[in-house]
Amino acid sequence: MKWKRIPQQLQRLIILAAIFAVLFLIVRSFLIPVDFGKYGHYRASAVEEIIAQGMHYAGQEACYDCHEDVFETKRGGFHQNVSCEVCHGPAFTHAETTDTAELEAPTGRGYCPVCHEYLPSRPTGFPQIVSASHNPMKPCITCHEPHDPEPPQAPAECTACHAEIARTKSLSHHVYVPCMRCHETPEEHKINPRKVLPGKPKTREFCGGCHAQDAPADKGIPRIDMASHNVRYVCWQCHYPHLPEAR
């Protein structure tokens, strides 16, 4: 189609559209960052800006470069994987310029309970205390060396760690059954709780010792017929012994 044969109004529109398009392309070429789209649909230098961000945590390898003695103390202990900066705070500046930025460690009773206060949601076996009743006036570090903590004595009672179970059991008919009657517990479990685990009753006859028809036990205890009552299971596979169903 020849330009002259296009109606006048359309000619004007085409000129206007062309001006707009050219202007857009010119402005566009000025405004798009030069490195946009270099690696993908983003500004390539954004990555450099992000990795230029300053660090606050040095990482525990940096600490051990100078504090080898602490490394030796911690090695093999319960806190060997607790990074120094968990308690001492971010140490990057300290590691770069040793004398200017001194680090502190919490010495009061406030900090250790962040991890070691008893919370029912904490995993069983993780050492926990009730700080309100656990030597309330003494700072933790008077008895526990934080770099190599050991329980000063093995816990006297199972409830020191297994408070959640103790609480449940206190509501149950089994409240007077001591833990050790059912759980054979090697002494080593108190020191190495995850490595050496206590036992559980292996047979039906163990529970039958009290609950069988002819067991030599108190009359109020519920009895079952051992021969006919779900022979294929050990009792605790159905009944929760810390809170048996019959209340």
Partner 1 sequence: MPILKEVSGYIYPNEIELHWGILIVVYPYLTGLVAGAFILASLVKIFNVREVQATYRMALLTALAFLIVSPLPLLTHLGHPEKSFEIFLTPNTKSAMAMFGFVYAWYLMAVLLLEIWFDYRRDIILWEKKESGIKKWFHKLITLFSSDASEQSLTFDRKAIKLITIIGIPSAFLLHGYVGFIFGSIKANPWWSSVLMPIVFLFSAIVSGIALVLLIYMVVTPMRGKEIDMACLNKLASYLFYVMIIDFSLEALDFIHRIYESEESIHILSELVMGKLFVSLIVIQLLIGMIVPLLAIAGVKLFKAPDELRKQVYFLSALLVQVGIFSTRWNVVIGGQLFSKSFSGLTAYKMTFLGLEGLLMSLFLLLLPFIILYVLFRVLPPWEEMREAQ
Partner 2 sequence: MKYKVKESSKKLPDRRTFIQTLGSSCVLLLVPKFLFARENKKGAAWTYSNGYAPSEHYYGMGIDISKCIGCGRCANACKLENDVPREPFFFRTWVERYRIFEDGEVAIDSPNGAADGFKPGSAPEKNLVRNFFVPKICNQCDKPPCVQVCPVGATFKTPDGVVLVDSQYCIGCRYCIQACPYGARYLHPEKRVADKCTFCYHRIVKEKLPACVEVCPTQARIFGELEKKASPLVRFMRMNKISVLKPSLNTEPKVYYANFDMEVR
Name the minimum Å distance from CB 42 to partner 2: 4
Name the minimum Å distance from CB 38 to partner 2: 6
Question: Judged by CB under 8 A, which of 18, 19, 22, 32 binds partner 1?
Answer: 32
| Measured CA distances, 109 to 24, 113, 116, 157, 159 (Å) | 66, 7, 11, 23, 22
Helix, strand, or coil (residue 224): strand
Question: Judged by CB under 8 A, which of 2, 5, 8, 49 binds partner 1?
Answer: 8
Instruction: Output the six-digit token pair for 67.
Output: 């504090």
Closer residue to partner 1 in complex, CB, 34/137: 34
* Count of residues in contact with partner 2, rule CB under 8 A: 46
Choosing among partner 2, partner 1, none, which partner's interface includes residue 86 (Cβ < 5 to 8 Å by kind)? partner 2
39 binds partner 1 (CB under 8 A): no
Closer residue to partner 1 in complex, CB, 10/51: 10
For 37-69, the DSSP string reads TSSSSSBTHHHHHHHTSPP----HHHHHHH-HH
| Measured CA distances, 164 to 10, 100, 171, 179, 207 (Å) | 84, 46, 12, 13, 23
Cβ-contact 94, 108 below 8 angstroms: no
Q: Hey, which residues does 212 pair with through a beta bridge?
A: 224
For partner 2, the binding residues (CB under 8 A) are 5, 33, 36-43, 46-57, 59-60, 79, 81-83, 85-86, 90, 114-115, 117-123, 126, 130, 164, 167-168, 243
For partner 1, the binding residues (CB under 8 A) are 7-13, 16, 20, 24, 28, 31-32, 36-37, 41
